[in-house]
Amino acid sequence: MTLVDRVVFPGSFDPLTNGHVDIILRGLKVFDQAEVTVGVLCNPDKKYLFTGDERVALIKEVFSEYGQRVRVKSFSGLLADFLRQEDVKVIVRGLRAISDFEYENQIALMNRYLSEVETCFLVASEENSFISSSLVKQVAGLHGDVARFVPPIVAQALERKFR
């Protein structure tokens, strides 16, 4: 058996939610000898609320106390290429509900085909199972309270965006 010393948790993180934090913390526990790289997708064709730099900075701040165990890097293009570049063989993704599985299964198989990596699914806690970045943006955009769904610095950043 080979020790897993690096895993990547990829996503758009527009913005980071408590659901993402939950999965990253679970990843740190399950892969307790590994460095967890949060891979922030910056697709030039996609419109994001937060720029790539803003998304990376927010995640770095939330995980600042974890030092070398949590790295945050942006990537564009294929995740498979980013994994090769980082020399990582394990992807971590969160599952909130059965409805996530179909899409996640497709991308896991595609990524395995493209770069022979395994995807490890971690299940979010029930209280985070309905949270998504898009819902959070919708609620924050309508000036609803999102404090329960995102880390405090993300709530402040959302407030500034929609002020």
The residues of the shown chain that bind ligand PNS, judged by CB under 6 A, are: 10-12, 41, 78-80, 107, 110-111
Our CB check for ligand PNS shows the closer of 53 and 81 to be: 81
Q: How far is C-alpha 96 from the geometric centre of its chain's CA atoms?
A: 13
Catalytic residue among 46, 125, 134, 143: 46
Residue showing tokens 């570049």: 85
46 catalytically annotated: yes
Our CB check for ligand PNS shows the closer of 14 and 35 to be: 14
Our CB check for ligand PNS shows the closer of 47 and 163 to be: 47
In the complex, minimum distance from the CB of residue 163 to ligand PNS, in angstroms, rounded to a whole number: 25
